[in-house]
Amino acid sequence: MILSPDELGSFLLARNATPHDLLGMHPAKSGRIGGLVVRALVRDAAACAVVELGRTEKIYPMERLAADGFFEVFLPRRRKFFAYRLRVTRHSGEVCEREDPYSFLPTLGAQDLYLFNEGNEHRIYEKLGAHLRTVGGVTGVAFAVWAPGAARVSVVGNFNGWDGRYHPMRTLGASGVWELFIPRLGEGEFYKFELRDGGGRLLIKTDPYGTRFEPPPGNAAIVCDPGRHSWNDAAWIARRRASAGTPDRPLSVYEVHLSSWRRKLEDAGCPLSYRELAPMLADYTTDMGFTHVELMPVAEHPFDGSWGYQVTGFFAPSHRFGLPEDFCWFVDHLHQRGVGVILDWVPGHFPRDSFALAEFDGTHLYEHADPRQGEHQDWGTLIFNYGRNEVRGFLVANALAWLDRYHLDGLRVDAVASMLYLDYSRKEGEWIPNQHGGRENLEAIAFLRETNRLVHDYHPGVLMIAEESTAFPGLTRPVADGGLGFDLNWNMGWMHDTLRYFTKEPVHRRWHHNDLTFGALYQFTENFISVFSHDEVVHGKKSLLYKMGAWHIPEKAANLRALYAHLWAWPGKKLLFMGGEFGQSHEWNHDRSLDWHLCSYRDHEGIRLLVRDLNRLYVSEPVLSYHDLDPRGFRWINCTDATHSTLSYLRLDEHERVFFAVVGNYTPVIRHAHRVGVPRGGFWKEMINTNSQYYGGSGLGNDGGKHTEPIAADGLGQSLVLTLPPLSTSIFKWTAE
């Protein structure tokens, strides 16, 4: 035996950090005789031999040094390395030949590692993780993981009995990356990484870059090629690219939680698959007139109750609905049907699950060590260390991977406010100021700017959307102009104010009129999307229908119809959470399907029909859909009539050849002969009346439109004398001849 007992013990006790120094083929001496030595550690092997490949195969039986399968053979006076395979005889008597994993060079180059450590390898997900490779004509899987604090790392899986002794990885210099190519492995193999940290603890971790995972409680990563789908959305992508730099375009988003949108009633209410959902969702959204769907997080997560916001597999679509290629098919199908797909992305925090990122290599690798920086108190999660190059690179690459692999049309970035401020949801003394003594998280701000810039560079036309509620300056200003570079921001202030108004009983609304008007003061300070999201219909907040300030369902429905018409007419892009479009009665429950049976009732179906017509009007009228972000496209008519709880405003194009007048009456009192000023004389066509019988109302309205009278009102030279139905919003259109 040439191997020393200590060296042998380091393998048998799974403590060897440099396996390629001893396993495989190496120059050696036995006494004074030089030659080559070949060593192998093979599970379930009764015998092993080296088979020299060439014109005539030579076989060199190996000495078994340990019952666990450690073998060695010394080949005296051999100087030149040669190609070989290992012939393994199993205890069952089965004989098989395989390449030696320790005979291959690293699959990552010095440039890859340099850029990764620098945080500038934007597609590091193509290098780290598990990838099907052909090396030297041999197929297999290249594994690589970043774990600089580990004393030893092994790949474990079904193929080696989950025993960390059999496939120890090598560390690649000072990069902190560990690597191993295992020949003859293929797609579908389950695997994890077994790490021994600096204190001797044994950790079993899933792959941070894994593209597919098994369900809990196993949570193993699965070798997978997510790029096999043959895409058919080239025309869609071309149109998207042509729209680059113009966020002011039609955008009406239907927010969806895939697991609870619809379920299989015949199968105990189980969720539908990606391939089952796609045609149904495409049919519904196209009929309803939505331009995009926004998916609540589909990245892998173990706990259904987190709704996807506590991610453990950042690069993997959830196993709940199918394979990664099924998710590709889902997106492709919606694109071919003319529907965009936006994904809810969660770079702000991650859960403490011991099998995932938390203390990945025994150190605070992905998170800050100091809990004043690294713990999210509200959600019990951990905060990424955005100042660490490799962590920032992980997240940037994650954003690009979803766009590269799955052709997504946008990312809605969750909880941006929690990323921007070091004192977010913290008391005095519970946070650490930045280098200038301020509360801004400078590292997170730099990360968001870099991500937005790179997304727009690599994927023109893709939208980056922020959920930010603190009026952080320059959120949607381009990075080149000193902004954060988002295309759009959720208008949380407008949403809260407007809902607060409509939750009041009408008799009290006159005292809260400013809730309807205040938003105009800041409406054009950012590029806003007006939202009624899932957050407003959970945790005891009631459904949108039940929020309305009325006692009976018909009046609640009338209020909700009036609110929706105001939403679609108001400047800003649109987003509505599923179920809201037909006035779901109950709060959203992630464990059950929406109450689709409600659409058989007049009040609920009327709301749905109105939303469909509002979408169609919005998309078909450039004044409404291409001027959402232009302050020149909005003017008040009368914003001061708090006494009667009426509101009126104009939407218009830059040439003033098309006007829309929006008039709301938010009390149950009919306003007869209500005079409203308008800027042009002639006929104003009634485009929407939320009190229409078609939508479940009484039918009282303005008979399809009104001609103006040459009487000044509201500071305008012409006026309309209107009948304002109770609890309604009406939309009128004037067009130049």
Q: Which long-range contacts (CB under 8 A, 24 or more apart) does 704-708 make?
A: 705/732, 706/732, 707/682, 707/683, 708/678, 708/680, 708/681, 708/682, 708/683, 708/684
Q: Are 281 and 322 in contact (CB under 8 A)?
A: no
Distance separating the N- and C-terminal Cα atoms of the chain: 99
CA distance 366 to 359: 7
CA distance 309 to 382: 12
CA nearest 469: which of 496, 508, 441?
A: 496
CA distance 352 to 366: 11
Strands 573-577 and 252-256, bridge-based pairing: parallel
Catalytic residue among 99, 100, 294, 414: 414
Q: Are 563 and 498 in contact (CB under 8 A)?
A: yes
Burial class (CB in 10 A: 0-12, 13-18, 19+), 552: exposed
Token pair for 587: 């709060």
Catalytic residue among 112, 361, 467, 628: 467
What is the number of other CB atoms lying within 10 angstroms of the CB of residue 225?
14
CA nearest 616: which of 250, 349, 322?
A: 250
Q: Are 180 and 101 in contact (CB under 8 A)?
A: yes
Strands 24-30 and 33-41, bridge-based pairing: antiparallel
Q: Is 207 designated active site?
A: no
Interhelix angle 274-288/324-336, nearest 10 degrees = 20
Q: Residue 535: which residues within 8 A CB-CB, separation 6 or more?
A: none
Q: Is 468 designated active site?
A: no
Backbone angles phi, psi at 253, to 5 degrees: -105, 135
CA distance 678 to 546: 35
DSSP string, 297-364: P-EE-S-GGGTT-S-SEEEEE-GGG--HHHHHHHHHHHHHTT-EEEEEE--S-B---TTTTTTTTSS-
Q: Are 98 and 86 in contact (CB under 8 A)?
A: yes
Q: Are 36 and 78 in contact (CB under 8 A)?
A: yes
The torsion defined by the Cα of 552, 554, 559 and 561, in degrees rounded to 10, comes to 150
DSSP H or E run through 253: strand 252-256
CA nearest 708: which of 677, 737, 687?
A: 677
Token pair for 415: 């909880």
Q: Are 533 and 575 in contact (CB under 8 A)?
A: yes
Catalytic residues: 414, 467
